[in-house]
Amino acid sequence: MAGSNFVDYVKIYCRSGNGGPGSAHLRREKFMPKGGPDGGDGGRGGHIILKGNSQMWTLLHLRYKRHIFAGNGGPGGQQLSTGADGNDVVIEVPLGTIAKKESTGEILFEITGHDEEMILARGGRGGLGNNHFKSATNQTPRYAQPGEPGIEDSFILELKILADVGLVGFPNAGKSTLLSVVSAARPKIADYPFTTLVPNLGMVSYREDKSFVMADIPGIIEGAHEGKGLGIRFLRHIERNSILLFIIPVDSRNIMDEYDILVNELKMYNPELLDKKRLLGISKADLADEEIRNELRKDLPRLPRVFFSAITGEGISTLKDMIWKMLTAY
């Protein structure tokens, strides 16, 4: 199943290359018995580099490759020859990947652009050859500088999905059904809670060849910030979204109460999520006639809302229009 291939958290052990030692060679040629120092510098150690790839969506390829070593720099040579640089290791990662130090939790950087490269572990500098140490009082230095050691550490790579719209709702609210209707994504859909176990992304086509990205995350339940249900593990995937689309079914006991619970869970996880634009989608609208909808409208939250049905297609175009208008509003 494709969904099981989604990995958004890995720990890797990296060792960048050591710098090569400088050379302490003394020039010795025919008719030049005392040519002086001509030792070259050592090559730098190989870097370990993260590179963004917009075609990737998971860190699965790093789950089974936990140890990554770069090449060491070559030693300096005679005639001021610089040693070869160590081989760099380039790791391609999906956009939205954050690199952290495991020991301190410090965020080093994040990859947000295609082909963007950042050095995760820098290789050691090559040592200086003895040519750098000659002077009027020491014309034949017989020593050179050793290369710097590389970096050896454990790092955490964490993926936060980059999407325009994030779907927020309780399990079985109809989030995955909506995503399957408006995009080519095919998430697993069934009539039981927590059918969706991993986030799903879909590209939603709009008018005149326009499009936006929609992300469906596993359902949230009351107490998710305390670890209930699937907990807060997947809430980080909506931190980057421009719009939060709250999905609540029309047949829920109390739409306002469910909305308040969802908002509270987001607030307990990260209060900054409440600063994002919000839209309320009342799903499964085919189960309610106009009279019932009018009654429901009296107690709905004060934010843009739309009744829609992913089965009949009612309200889908209106929902897309509202999302696009919010995305393009300044």
Total domains present in the chain: 2
Residues 236 and 293 in one domain: yes
Instruction: Report CA dihedral (91, 96, 102, 105) to the nearest 10 degrees.
Output: 150
Note whether 176 and 283 are same-domain residues.
yes
For position 40, what pLDDT does the model report? Answer: 93
**How much is the pLDDT for 20?**
95
Tell me, what CATH number does 52's domain have?
Answer: 2.70.210.12
Q: 38 and 131 share a domain?
A: yes
Least confident window among 36-40, 133-137, 191-195: 191-195
> What range defines the domain where residue 13 resides?
2-159
Given 94, 124, 159, the domain boundary residue is: 159
pLDDT at residue 223, rounded to an integer: 67
> In this model, does residue 215 exceed pLDDT 50?
yes
Output the pLDDT for position 18: 96
Please name the amino acid found at residue 287: L
**Global pTM value:** 0.73
* Cα 205 to Cα 175: distance, rounded to the nearest angstrom: 17
Question: Looking at the structure, do residues 317 and 182 belong to the same domain, yes or no?
Answer: yes
- Of 159, 189, 210, which residue is a domain's last? 159
| Ranges assigned E (strand) in the chain | 9-15, 48-53, 67-69, 89-94, 97-101, 107-111, 117-121, 152-159, 165-169, 200-205, 211-216, 243-249, 277-283, 305-307
Per-residue pLDDT of 155-195, as tens digits, reads 999 888 777 888 888 887 778 888 888 886 665 555 444 55
Residues 192 and 152 in one domain: no
**Per-residue DSSP letter, 191:** S
For CA atoms 208, 209, 210, 211, the dihedral sign is positive
Domain match, 109 and 214 both: no
Q: Assess whether 67 and 139 both reside in one domain.
A: yes
Q: What is the average per-residue pLDDT within 40-52?
A: 95
67-69/200-205 β-pairing: unpaired
Residue 199's pLDDT band, with cuts at 50, 70 and 90, is confident
Q: Is the pLDDT of residue 85 over 70?
A: yes
Highest mean pLDDT among 15-19, 192-196, 242-246, 297-301: 15-19
Q: Which residues contact 296 (CB under 8 A, 6 or more apart)?
A: 250, 255, 282, 288
Q: What is the mean pLDDT of residues 262-287?
A: 86
More confident residue, 315 or 93: 93
Which of the four pLDDT bands, split at 50, 70 and 90, describes residue 151? Answer: very high
Q: Indicate if 209 and 320 belong to the same structural domain.
A: yes
Tell me the average pLDDT of the chain: 84
Both 170 and 313 in one domain: the answer is yes
| pLDDT tens digit sequence for 284-304 | 888 877 777 777 777 777 888
Q: What is the mean pLDDT of residues 126-135?
A: 92
Identify whether residues 273 and 132 lie together within a single domain.
no
Q: Answer with the one of 99, 131, 159 that is the final residue of a domain.
A: 159
Per-residue model confidence (pLDDT) at position 24? 92
CB atoms within 10 A of CB 270: 15
Same domain, 16 and 153: yes
Q: Are residues 54 and 186 in the same domain?
A: no
CATH number at residue 198: 3.40.50.300
* pLDDT band for position 139 (cuts 50, 70, 90): confident
More confident residue, 117 or 294: 117
Q: Record the tokens describing residue 192, joined without a space.
A: 């039981």
